[in-house]
Amino acid sequence: MKWPIERRVQLGLAIAAVVLCSLGMITYALIVGFVRTSDQVIHTHLVIESIEGARTGLDDAETSVRGYLLTRDPSFLRPYELVRGRIPGVIDRLRMYTLDNPSQQQRMVQIKQLVDRELELMQEAVNAAKSPTTPAAEQAKLLNEDQQVMATLRNTFRLMRLQENQLLATRDAAWRRNLTEAIAGGAILALLSLVLLFSTYYVFRQDLSERRRAEAALHASEERLRSMISSVKDYAFFMVDPEGRVASWNEGAAIIKGYQANEIIGQPFSVFFAEDDRKAGVPESLLKKAAEKGSAENEGWRVRKDGSRFWTNAIASAMRDEQGVLVGFAEVARDLTERKLAEEKIRQGQSRLAAILDGSPSAIFVKDPEGRYTLVNRRLEECFQVKREQILGRTDKDLFPLETTRHLAEHDAQAFRAKKALEFEEVIRQKSGARSYLSARVPLINEKQEVYALCGICTDITERKEKEQEIQRLNRALQDRVVDHSVELMKAADDLKIEKGLREGAEARERELLGRLLEMMQVNRVPAWVYDVETLGLLEFNDAALSLHGSSREDLSKLRVTDLFTIVPKVDDGNSGGDALNGPIASRQRVKDGRTIPLGLLARPVEWKGCNAALVVAVSASESYPSPPIQSASLPSQPAS
């Protein structure tokens, strides 16, 4: 069972919400863990910095005191005094930073005592140095104890630093792991979001054709608004105040309607309608319907700024404030002129097709794969004397006798299996009697190479069949008469065979002579030409003639004999039957480079492939062409006719 689009979308969104929420919670937990480990790493760095600050401060203070003891210069005491005022705060911060670490807290107790003692020893050493009565042994004792306390402090700080470094390594590894998990979770969440978004888009795209016009007015308005926002250049979106004046304008509206914002804002909404629609009150009716029902849809011709018309689909939605007071209208419109023109062309094409079908002298029908009639023309109605409404949706079983139905079903099945047009001769009994039809079955195949329907074209050949039978009867009578004259025809056939044999012998002789002439022309080194006596075009020439002219065979074939020779030798009428050539004449031949060569030419008539021709032979030449001996004995005689 196929679920409706709303149900599938709801289910898909529910699954997507569950998955996204689950993955979001996991990602949130990973991010929280990442933030926690980040805080821990930062906290550890603060502890290390505090340890280093305390150690460095005490070292500076010790160095300052020792410098004073050696030099008695009061300026050396300034770092000591700064550290003495700052070190208690540093120790307190270090103690606060290590509250989560019991072992460090134990060390902090020791450090606090040692720091206090170190500060006391430093102060005592300074005071002793300032007093001239303090024995040197007492000062040495104080410095020795100071060194021991500082050594203990340094060792304690070193242990604390070592433990914090280990803790930092552990927390840094946890931070990196949490960072990787958070990034992976975010990437998976983003990827899954894209997959879900694409899946939702795919479902919507697959079922766009199933969108129903009976959607709720609010949903239709929101959907069209979303489409307009995603492609503002394809949609006109503008606001209209309660009085019907344009209040806002967008780029799509400017492109579609031709008005700029400063030209149309404040103008009546009715300027977009044709004069007839304005007189009929269509603009006011549209806004009134939108105010009453929440939205109103209108499709029709509109007028641009330049006066041209375009077909548009417009939806006007009423806009109200929180108290329900009407504050204006929002209209979304799209230019559908191309679609309108295409639909009109389709409608005209369907009308022409219907006219062709109904005007056809043959009965035409279309069946679906179950054999139900889905289309019939007027001729089929006339043939079977049944109204179209009584045929559509029914099968052959509902219209014809069982025997006829069986034959028709068999022919349909053959065409379905063959997937190509087949012709059958069918006899169908009707109210007026049995009629013969020459029927063609044409399977209609889709892009998947599946037969989705079967078209039939039935031509009534009853009268033709009757005429064929009459012709057969007349043929039999004619055959009877032909038998009576068979002897005379056989004798005439014998005479024709004798005459045909004589004619074939003459044609064979002519072909033999023509072959000999061609062979002689190619073997002999003497230039020779054959030309048509009537058209003067060259029919044949040998290699010597081609070499003498100096051009290609194709170029020489295009010339006439008058283009080749300055004087063309005359030939007799060919009735003498002699073998001798006509007396030589002096002429000149034009060659390719523009020169003319003197030649002596002989000519005689020949029959060449069914036309009157002349054979011309060169018998002498100037210095450019030596005169060879003439082999006149090898020229064939003109065959007798």
How many angstroms separate the CA atoms of 235 and 298, rounded?
Answer: 15
Q: Evaluate whether residue 472 is within a structural domain.
A: no
Q: Identify whether residues 86 and 134 lie together within a single domain.
A: yes
| Sequence-distant (≥ 6) Cβ neighbours of residue 97 within 8 angstroms | 43, 46, 47, 50
Residues 334 and 379 in one domain: no
Contacts of 553 (CB under 8 A, 6+ apart): 546
Q: Are residues 184 and 277 in the same domain?
A: no
56 and 163 inside one domain:
yes
| One domain for residues 365 and 421 | yes
Same domain, 391 and 313: no
- 148 C-beta neighbours (distance < 10 Å), count: 14
Same domain? 387 vs 425: yes
- For the chain (length 641 residues), average pLDDT per consecutive 10? 64 75 78 77 82 82 81 82 83 83 83 84 80 75 82 86 85 82 80 76 67 60 56 76 88 86 88 88 89 88 89 89 87 84 81 80 89 89 83 87 86 89 85 82 89 90 82 73 51 57 64 68 77 88 86 87 87 50 76 86 82 82 41 38 33
Residue 164 lies in a domain: yes
Whether residue 134 lies inside any domain: the answer is: yes
Number of domains in the chain: 4
- The H or E element containing residue 617 is strand 611-621
Q: Assess whether 140 and 181 both reside in one domain.
A: yes
| Phi and psi based region of residue 294 (left: phi greater than 0; alpha: psi -120 to 50; beta: remaining) | left
Please indicate, yes or no, whether residues 338 and 377 belong to a single structural domain of this protein: no
Instruction: Please give the span between the terminal C-alpha atoms of the chain, in angstroms, as a whole number.
Output: 92
The answer on 372 and 331 residing in a single domain is no
Find out whether 613 and 521 touch, Cβ atoms under 8 Å.
no
Asked which of 191, 211, 246 is the last residue of a domain, the reply is: 191
In a domain, 567, yes or no: yes
Do 336 and 399 fall within a single domain? Answer: no
CA distance 424 to 437: 8
Integer Cα distance of 173 and 46 in angstroms: 18
Residue 481 lies in a domain: no
d(CA 260, CA 255) in angstroms, rounded, equals 9
Residue 501 lies in a domain: no
**pTM here?**
0.31
Query: Taken in order 371, 372, 374, 379, is the CA torsion positive or negative?
Result: positive
Domain, as residue range, for 19: 5-191
pLDDT for residue 581: 47
| Residue 2: burial class (beta carbons within 10 Å; 0-12, 13-18, 19+) | exposed
Contacts of 167 (CB under 8 A, 6+ apart): 44, 101
Whose structure tokens read 């509902």?
Answer: 398
364: CB partners within 8 A, 6+ apart: 357, 375, 376, 377, 379, 380, 455, 456, 457, 458
Neighbouring-strand partners of residue 2: none
What was the pLDDT predicted at 63? 84
Quick check: 542 and 556 in contact, CB under 8 A?
Answer: no
Residues 532, 568, single domain; the answer is yes
Residue 320 Cα to chain centre, angstroms = 45
CATH of residue 394 = 3.30.450.20
CA pair distance 407, 434, nearest whole angstrom? 15
Question: DSSP assignment of 50-86, as one string?
Answer: HHHHHHHHHHHHHHHHHHHHHH--GGGHHHHHHHHHH
Q: Looking at 285, 310, 342, which one is the last position of a domain? A: 342
